[in-house]
């Protein structure tokens, strides 16, 4: 059971993110919920932050990119507004001890809304920094759990462009402790979901 805290006085905080377009009947949502339930039950007084990406995430645009390259005290009102959602999403990540992501694999990769979320939170000087030795993630002492689901793509195969990318991007922003559970090839393997359900519950136990 992951119980590490940044501040002993602060409650253990779980950030629960779902990216499936399906609000019901989603395997990835069910798996992520099982992991979150285990974490919440195992950490008395834990706080939950919920972010359902199916409700919408703005894509970055020219105003956004200009804003992140402008010193904070020099940003225009439009630039501040362009970063409003990003600032909120970053704050959720910074507050979290554990990040749980439920993600289906669409067309061999992650849903567009999950990529949009990453584009909103991967910010130089905020969640990572450039150094003479390359980029360094700034989100430390956190753990990520990723619940994947696919109809036909085998996780870890040459046609899986989701799991490796998610693990890489978590490490890029400083979250190197990443655990994954997958219900993959569900259209071909009748036991895939049940195995993943058991693994998800064990993962957060």
Res 203: pLDDT: 85
Res 204: pLDDT: 78
- Which is more confidently placed, 107 or 204? 107
**Which residues are part of a known binding site for FMN?**
20, 26-28
pLDDT of 122 above 90: yes
Res 124: pLDDT: 96
pLDDT of 127 above 90: yes
- Which is more confidently placed, 4 or 56? 56
pLDDT of 194 above 60: yes
Q: At 134, is the secondary structure helix, strand, or coil?
A: strand
Band the pLDDT of 3: cuts 50, 70, 90: low
pLDDT of 22 above 60: yes
- Distance between CA atoms of 18 and 21, rounded to whole angstroms? 9
pLDDT of 156 above 80: yes
pTM given for the model: 0.95
- Which is more confidently placed, 7 or 175? 175
Q: What is the mean pLDDT of residues 48-77?
A: 97
- 97: buried, middle or exposed (CB in 10 Å: 19+, 13-18, 0-12)? buried
Res 137: pLDDT: 98
- Which is more confidently placed, 2 or 82? 82
User: What's the topology of domain 13-203?
Assistant: Rossmann fold (3.40.50)
Return the percentage of the chain with pLDDT > 70, whole number: 96
- Distance between CA atoms of 186 and 114, rounded to whole angstroms? 21
Q: At 67, is the secondary structure helix, strand, or coil?
A: helix
**Which residues are part of a known binding site?**
20, 26-28
How far is the first Cα of the chain from the last one, in angstroms, to the nearest whole number?
5
pLDDT of 7 above 90: no
Band the pLDDT of 5: cuts 50, 70, 90: low
The encoded tokens of residue 195 equal 């195995």
Res 101: pLDDT: 98
Domain ranges of the chain: 13-203
pLDDT of 134 above 90: yes
What is the CB neighbour count within 10 angstroms for residue 139? 21
Q: What is the mean pLDDT of residues 17-40?
A: 97
Q: At 87, is the secondary structure helix, strand, or coil?
A: helix
Res 79: pLDDT: 98
Q: At 12, is the secondary structure helix, strand, or coil?
A: coil
């Amino acid at each position: 059971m992951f119980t590490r805290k940044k501040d002993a006085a602060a409650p253990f905080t779980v950030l629960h993110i779902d990216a499936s377009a399906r609000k019901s009947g989603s395997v990835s949502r069910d798996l992520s919920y099982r992991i979150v339930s285990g974490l919440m039950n195992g950490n008395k007084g834990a706080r939950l932050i919920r972010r359902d990406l199916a409700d919408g995430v703005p894509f970055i645009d020219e105003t956004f990119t200009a804003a992140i390259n402008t010193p904070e005290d020099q940003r225009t009102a439009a630039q501040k507004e362009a970063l409003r959602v990003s600032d909120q999403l970053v704050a959720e990540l910074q507050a979290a001890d554990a990040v749980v992501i439920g993600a289906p694999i669409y067309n061999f990769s992650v849903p567009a809304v999950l990529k949009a979320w990453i584009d909103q939170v991967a910010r130089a000087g905020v969640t990572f920094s450039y150094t003479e030795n390359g980029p360094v993630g700034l989100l430390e002492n956190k753990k990520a759990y990723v619940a994947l689901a696919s109809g036909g793509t085998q996780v870890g195969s040459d046609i899986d462009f989701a799991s490796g990318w998610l693990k890489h991007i978590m490490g890029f922003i400083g979250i190197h402790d990443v655990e994954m559970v997958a219900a993959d090839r569900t259209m071909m393997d009748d036991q895939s979901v049940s195995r993943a359900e058991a693994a998800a519950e064990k993962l957060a136990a």
